[in-house]
């Protein structure tokens, strides 16, 4: 690929006067004189690592705050929304903090927090960050100041990877398998952790590059924050399966002398999530459901649409159960809330922001408004608009109301013109012709860009790029347009997405080599049925046309046995079954089967090494594996796809 890094047309630009004016206006619109959050974010600080730098085994930084030194200035540049700049400064606090008696947090070593609660003899770890390196460094820092307390238990508050990916930096597989260290999680944790992070994992990873701006340069014209935290760790992660599942609100666990009372919160910020209260410490942990910003109802990376009505209800229930009693509110992102009155106010405002968005969206739906029209119409009430912790740094009013619409009515707005639209490249080609061709579009787009009309420029030039992906003038003007939209965005995820799109238009997306979407360590934690589900979604339906295979799969190291059936271009399976007429019967230990699924070995290699035994037609299993897609790390988003995925 040609080096484009020094081409002045492809470099980041200054803020357009319209963006600079809009950002300046926000300084007058919000209470920037209120500095309480800055005091709270530093409260209880004990120690940290220099620049919070944590190295991975390969020598690169799994995490570092060093590139964000530019945030030391209290004056936001014109290229950053001042409200987002404020949040980015608050998220610069990192290290070990004491929350209250017996409760500590590691903050700023990852997007999420790790909470450490001291029992009678050891420490209970709540969430383990994204990376093994970050979790290990956080625990070491805690022990440096609090002594070599053993980990007594681990709690996963919910299913997202930044809350469990570092577990092996805290405990070993042997600790968990022996029962010495239980891992406590909400009911159905594994089902949803797999569906979000494995089954759709490759697409989510790519889309998350836009949401989190992973490969943006750090600086006033690039990445400044993720709203929910600084950024995402670059270290090693894997899933260590829970051993104890909480299923109902009111369930308790006594862990190392402390009682934990749980409240279930499914379909809130995660499909499987809970809150808990520690009565002795008067501490309420709301997981990720009452953070220091308006959260996502549908993140850009993708997920099931979250239930705003239920989310509000869970906060209301927590307020009823413990609001008057709790003296500290702990979250698994951002900094805590101290004081009974402050805890109640925070919970009430968090409760009401999700209820307001839900109810007002439904009201406008019943007036016949579409999702886009609702986003243009809804305005937050003053009390919520001026509360810093309900601002849209991560979620955003405009895309959250569209998520509510989608959950209620689906993607279709009932306009027949939108029932079966052309795909982007075909639509772009026809629209460009209707509009008089590329030259005429570009002339008008340049005029609108100069006038600060960036949304319409983005809409029209997107069609032109999909019609003519090699039209350099269109690509560069669209990149400049996305950049200005990013500079004006209060939401970190909006800014990251716009700037990442601009970067790929200017310099290309690059192509990473094909690699397995899940790691061997994560594969070990999956149920066999989940491994088979993962295998099934990789089946290339076109390649499987007219093929019929039946395979018995028996596991020598357990009682598990399955029948796999490939028919009608779909791979299904039956548990605890055996087909005497199968094409082949494969007998293998589970770890070897994981290698086969991850395509780290072939059935021929495993058989030759004595790790697998096949009765029947030996080639049958390899025939199935030959139908599986491999995934490229990168697929195109801001331009047409270049061909179908490669198959192995």
Q: Rounded to two decimals, what is the model's pTM?
A: 0.94
Provide the pLDDT for residue 193.
Answer: 87
Provide the pLDDT for residue 2.
Answer: 59
The CATH fold assigned to 520-625 is: Nonspecific Lipid-transfer Protein; Chain A (3.30.1050)
pLDDT, mean of residues 435-457 = 98
pLDDT at 517 over 80: no
**SS3 state at 104:** strand
pLDDT at 282 over 90: yes
Provide the pLDDT for residue 514.
Answer: 42
Question: What average pLDDT does the chain have?
Answer: 94
- From CA 261, how far away is CA 273, in angstroms rounded? 14
- From CA 153, how far away is CA 184, in angstroms rounded? 8
Q: If residue 498 lies in a helix (H) or strand (E), which one and from where to where?
A: helix 492-507
From the list 74, 76, 55, 77, the residue with the least C-alpha distance to 64 is 55
Angle 492-507/82-90 helices, nearest 10 degrees?
Answer: 100
**SS3 state at 264:** strand
- From CA 467, how far away is CA 461, in angstroms rounded? 10
- From CA 374, how far away is CA 486, in angstroms rounded? 22
> Percent of the chain scored above 70 by pLDDT?
97
pLDDT bucket at 515, cuts 50 / 70 / 90: very low
Q: How far apart are the first and last CA of the chain?
A: 25
The per-residue pLDDT for range 550-600, each reduced to its tens digit, is 999 999 999 899 999 999 999 999 999 999 999 999 999 999 999 999 889
pLDDT at 646 over 70: no
pLDDT bucket at 513, cuts 50 / 70 / 90: very low
The per-residue pLDDT for range 129-141, each reduced to its tens digit, is 999 999 999 999 9
**SS3 state at 178:** coil
The answer to whether the CB of 155 falls within 8 A of the CB of 186 is: no
H helices present in 130-257, as ranges? 132-146, 173-177, 189-194, 201-212
pLDDT at 17 over 70: yes
Q: If residue 359 lies in a helix (H) or strand (E), which one and from where to where?
A: helix 340-365
Residues 6+ apart with CB under 8 A from 487: 15, 16, 19, 23, 78, 79, 80, 81, 221, 495
pLDDT bucket at 648, cuts 50 / 70 / 90: very low
The per-residue pLDDT for range 369-380, each reduced to its tens digit, is 999 999 999 999
The per-residue pLDDT for range 187-218, each reduced to its tens digit, is 999 999 887 777 888 888 899 999 999 899 99
Which two three-digit tokens encode residue 29?
């619109």
DSSP string, 41-108: HHTTEEE--GGG-EE-TTSSEEE--GGGGGGG-SSPPTTS-HHHHHHHHHTT--EEEEEETTEEEEES
Query: Which residue ranges make up each domain of the chain?
Result: 31-406, 421-507, 520-625
The answer to whether the CB of 478 falls within 8 A of the CB of 9 is: no
pLDDT, mean of residues 112-119 = 98
Paired strand residues for 588:
555, 612
Residue 222 Cα distances to 109, 492, 500, 532, angstroms: 21, 11, 9, 41
DSSP 646: P
Q: Write out the CATH class of domain 31-406.
A: alpha beta
pLDDT, mean of residues 378-397 = 96
CATH number assigned to the domain with residue range 421-507, chosen from the 4 options 2.40.40.20, 2.170.190.11, 3.40.50.12140, 1.25.40.880: 1.25.40.880
CA 617 to chain centroid: 43
Least confident of 88-97, 225-234, 345-354, 632-641: 632-641
pLDDT at 523 over 60: yes
pLDDT, mean of residues 40-58 = 96
- From CA 71, how far away is CA 220, in angstroms rounded? 8
- From CA 102, how far away is CA 115, in angstroms rounded? 11
Provide the pLDDT for residue 76.
Answer: 97
Angle 438-450/454-467 helices, nearest 10 degrees?
Answer: 160
Provide the pLDDT for residue 477.
Answer: 98
- From CA 160, how far away is CA 167, in angstroms rounded? 13
**SS3 state at 584:** strand
pLDDT at 644 over 60: no
> Percent of the chain scored above 90 by pLDDT?
89
Provide the pLDDT for residue 58.
Answer: 87
- From CA 136, how far away is CA 134, in angstroms rounded? 5
Residues 6+ apart with CB under 8 A from 232: 110, 111, 130, 162, 208, 212, 214, 226
CA 608 to chain centroid: 41
Provide the pLDDT for residue 200.
Answer: 81
Which two three-digit tokens encode residue 568?
């009608």
Number of Cβ within 10 Å of residue 635's Cβ equals: 15
Position with higher pLDDT, 3 vs 12: 12
Provide the pLDDT for residue 511.
Answer: 57
Q: Kindly tell me the number of DSSP H helices and DSSP E strands found in the chain.
A: 22, 21
| CB-based burial label for 557 (10 Å; 0-12, 13-18, 19+) | exposed
DSSP string, 412-452: --S-GGGTSPPPHHHHHHHHHHHTT-HHHHHHHHHHHHHTT
Provide the pLDDT for residue 205.
Answer: 87
Which residues of 521-569 form beta strands (DSSP E)?
A: 549-555, 561-567
Q: What does DSSP say about strands 151-155 and 183-186: parallel, antiparallel, or unpaired?
A: parallel
- From CA 431, how far away is CA 467, in angstroms rounded? 9
pLDDT, mean of residues 457-480 = 98
**SS3 state at 631:** coil
- From CA 315, how far away is CA 523, in angstroms rounded? 35
């Amino acid at each position: 690929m040609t080096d484009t890094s020094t081409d002045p047309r492809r470099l980041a630009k200054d803020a357009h006067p319209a963006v600079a004016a809009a950002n300046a206006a926000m300084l007058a619109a919000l209470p920037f004189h209120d500095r309480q959050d800055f005091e709270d974010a530093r409260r209880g600080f004990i120690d940290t690592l220099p620049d919070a730098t944590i190295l991975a085994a390969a020598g690169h930084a799994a995490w570092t705050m060093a590139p964000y030194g530019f945030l030391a200035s209290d004056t936001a540049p014109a290229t950053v929304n001042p409200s987002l700049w404020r949040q980015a400064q608050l998220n610069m606090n990192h290290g070990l903090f004491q929350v209250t008696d017996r409760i500590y947090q590691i903050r700023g070593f990852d997007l999420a927090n790790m909470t450490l609660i001291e029992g009678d003899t050891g420490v209970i770890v709540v969430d383990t960050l994204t990376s093994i390196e970050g979790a290990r460094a956080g625990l070491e820092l805690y022990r440096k100041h609090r002594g070599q307390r053993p980990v007594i238990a681990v709690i996963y508050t919910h299913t997202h990877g930044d809350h469990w990916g570092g577990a092996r930096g805290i405990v070993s597989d042997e600790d968990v398998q022996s029962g010495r260290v239980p891992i406590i999680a909400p009911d159905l944790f594994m089902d949803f952790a797999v569906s979000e992070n494995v089954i759709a994992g490759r697409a989510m990873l790519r889309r998350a590059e836009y949401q989190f701006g992973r490969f943006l340069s750090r600086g006033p014209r690039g990445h400044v924050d993720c709203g929910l935290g600084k950024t995402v760790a670059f270290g090693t992660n894997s899933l260590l399966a829970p051993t104890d599942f909480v299923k109902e609100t009111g369930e308790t666990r006594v862990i190392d002398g402390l009682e934990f009372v749980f409240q279930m919160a499914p379909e809130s910020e995660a499909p499987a999530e809970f809150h808990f209260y520690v009565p002795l410490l008067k501490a309420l942990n709301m997981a990720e459901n009452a953070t220091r910003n308006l959260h996502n109802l549908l993140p850009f990376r993708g997920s099931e649409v979250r239930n705003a009505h239920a989310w509000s209800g869970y906060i209301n229930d927590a307020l009823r159960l413990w609001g008057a009693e709790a003296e500290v509110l702990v979250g698994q992102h951002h900094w805590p809330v101290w004081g009974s009155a402050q805890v109640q106010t925070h919970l009430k405002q968090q409760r009401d922001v999700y209820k307001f968005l839900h109810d007002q969206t439904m009201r406008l739906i019943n007036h016949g408004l579409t999702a886009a029209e609702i986003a243009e119409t809804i305005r937050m009430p003053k009390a919520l608009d001026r509360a810093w912790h309900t601002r849209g740094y991560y979620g955003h009013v405009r895309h959250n109301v569209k998520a509510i619409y989608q959950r209620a009515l689906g993607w279709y707005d009932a306009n027949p013109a939108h029932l079966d639209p052309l795909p982007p490249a075909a639509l772009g080609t026809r629209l460009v012709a209707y509009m008089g061709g590329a030259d005429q579009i570009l002339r008008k787009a340049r005029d609108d860009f100069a006038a600060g009309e960036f949304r319409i420029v983005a809409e029209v030039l997107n069609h032109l790029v999909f019609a003519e992906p090699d039209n350099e003038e269109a690509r560069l003007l669209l990149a400049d347009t996305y950049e200005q939209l990013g500079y004006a965005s209060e939401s970190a995820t909006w800014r990251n997405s716009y700037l990442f799109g601009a970067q790929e238009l200017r310099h290309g997306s690059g192509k990473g080599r094909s690699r397995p979407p899940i790691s061997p360590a994560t594969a070990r934690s999956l149920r066999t049925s989940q491994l088979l589900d993962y295998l099934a979604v990789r089946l290339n339906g076109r390649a499987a046309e007219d093929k019929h295979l039946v395979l018995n799969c028996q596991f020598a190291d357990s009682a598990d046995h399955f029948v796999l059936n490939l028919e009608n271009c779909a791979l299904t399976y039956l548990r605890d079954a055996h087909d005497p007429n199968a094409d082949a019967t494969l007998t293998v230990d589970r770890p070897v089967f994981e290698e086969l699924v991850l395509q780290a070995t072939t059935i021929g290699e495993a058989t030759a090494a004595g790790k697998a035994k096949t009765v029947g037609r030996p080639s049958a299993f390899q025939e199935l594996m030959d139908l599986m897609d491999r995934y490229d790390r990168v697929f195109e988003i801001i331009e047409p796809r270049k061909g179908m995925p490669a198959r192995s």
